[in-house]
Amino acid sequence: MQWLRTMVRIRLFEQMLADLYKAGRLVGVVHLSIGQEATAVGVCSALKDGDQITSTHRGHHHMVARGLDPQKMFAEILGRAGGYCRGKGGSMHVSAPAQGAMGANGIVGGGIAHAVGLAFAAKRLGSGGISAAFFGDGAANQGVLFESLNLAALWQAPVLFVCENNGYTEFTPTDAVTAGESIAARAAPFGIPAVEVDGDDVVAVNRLAGEATARARSGRGPTFIECRTARWRGHHEGEESYAKPYREPPAAADPIDRLERVLRDAGLAADGLRAAMEAEEEAGLAAALAAAEAEPEPPPERALEDVFA
């Protein structure tokens, strides 16, 4: 039930950003994760406090799933003083290390190796924690992914490699720039257990993520999970101003509808439950957004802070 709520929250959070963008109230470039809610919730719900994730330019869903405060997220994305990163990260870099969100990364593949190092540190320090690297299908063609798989396998690092394959590498169909039939298969030669999963099935994602976290926690090293999902929006909001239409509408069913159906079939979701949840979440997010928008801009002197310790 919490999964449904979190997925609803992600959807509404992202929809509000889309509306803000359209209304000209957002600065910068924003990449929305609508349609990919199940991967974030399926994986993050298998993690514990003290575990750590690295994320991507399209990472709001990971952050909401990790339990970040929507007001501080909105504030960051709006460039306000009270944002998680004090207004210096923005949409692509929302981070909250205290909650294990170690950094969303604007460079495709940029955070993968960090997750291996986080896992190594957790193992060496005996924290019991593990890490998960979220990355997209575009990162499947970055050399650092293969280097990181090798290192993680050698070190038996407690790390999950989570590839969200949403079908598009920025503006290019992933199939057109990605050889072979499967991204997950690329992990197999390193001796890393690799699975493909319907990334819109939150139950299936969670089950596999749970197996992977158990493997990591018991010292049996990394796992690679390719979540096949769909990107419902463009690469970024506002791209229609210059990009010719290039996308097929997503064929997959709405992952939130699917979870709702599962709950309904199990007798766990009464009529009206989702609508009530949506109303509650919408009210909460609207309040968070209003509070964030009311915040001041960061003071100018802050631009020169935080470079060094």
Partner 1 sequence: MTSVSPSAPVKRLAPALAEGIATCMRTDPRVVVWGEDVRIGVMGPTRGLVDEFGSERVLDCPISEAAFVGAAIGAAAGGLRPVVDIMFSSFAYVAFDQFANQAGRLRYMTGGQVAIPLVIIGSAGAAGANAAQHSEVPSALFLAAGGLRVVFPSTPHQAFWLTRAAIESDDPVIVLHHPALAATRGSLEAEPLSLGDAVVEPVGRDVSVLATGLMAHRARAVAKRLAGEGMFVEVVDVCTLNPMPWNAIIASVTKTGRAVVVDEGRLTCSVASELAAGIGERAHDALRAPVRRLAVPDVPIPFAPNLEAAVVPSEEAIAAMVCEVARA
Does 31 help bind partner 1 (rule: CB under 8 A)? no
- Stated length of the chain: 309
Contact positions with partner 1 (CB under 8 A) in 105-124: 105-107, 110, 112-122, 124
Instruction: Give the three-class secondary structure for 56.
Output: strand
Binding residue for partner 1, selected from 12, 47, 77, 85, defined by CB under 8 A: 85
Closer to partner 1 at the Cβ: 86 or 264? 86
Among 27-35, 82-90, 249-257, 263-271, the segment contacting partner 1 (CB under 8 A): 82-90
Q: How far is the CB of 255 from partner 1 (least distance, A)?
A: 29
Integer Cα distance of 138 and 175 in angstroms: 10
The angle subtended at Cα 166 by Cα 165 and Cα 170, nearest 5°, is: 105
Contact positions with partner 1 (CB under 8 A) in 89-108: 89, 93, 95-98, 102-103, 105-107
Closer to partner 1 at the Cβ: 38 or 139? 139
Helices (H), the chain: 2-22, 37-44, 60-65, 70-77, 112-125, 143-155, 174-177, 202-217, 255-265, 273-294
Q: Which amino acid is at 129?
A: G
Place of tokens 């690679």: 224
Closer to partner 1 at the Cβ: 62 or 93? 93
Does 88 help bind partner 1 (rule: CB under 8 A)? yes
Closer to partner 1 at the Cβ: 7 or 145? 145
Q: Which of 31, 144, 11 is nearest to 92 (CA)?
A: 31
- Rounded to 10 degrees, the C-alpha dihedral 6/8/9/12 comes to 160
Integer Cα distance of 278 and 163 in angstroms: 28
Does 276 help bind partner 1 (rule: CB under 8 A)? no
Per-residue contact string for residues 134-173; x = within reach of partner 1 by CB under 8 A: ---------xx--xx-xx--xx------------------
Integer Cα distance of 158 and 155 in angstroms: 9
Q: How far is the CB of 121 from partner 1 (least distance, A)?
A: 3
Q: How far is the CB of 254 from partner 1 (least distance, A)?
A: 33
Q: How far is the CB of 93 from partner 1 (least distance, A)?
A: 5
Among 21-29, 174-182, 186-194, 300-308, the segment contacting partner 1 (CB under 8 A): 300-308
Q: How far is the CB of 280 from partner 1 (least distance, A)?
A: 30
Integer Cα distance of 3 and 268 in angstroms: 13
Integer Cα distance of 76 and 28 in angstroms: 11
Give the C-alpha distances (Å, rounded to integers) separating 245 from 178, 240, 241.
21, 7, 10
Does 52 help bind partner 1 (rule: CB under 8 A)? yes
Does 125 help bind partner 1 (rule: CB under 8 A)? yes
Integer Cα distance of 132 and 212 in angstroms: 10
Which residues make up the interface to partner 1 (CB under 8 A)? Answer: 52, 54, 83-89, 93, 95-98, 102-103, 105-107, 110, 112-122, 124-125, 127, 131, 143-144, 147-148, 150-151, 154-155, 305-309
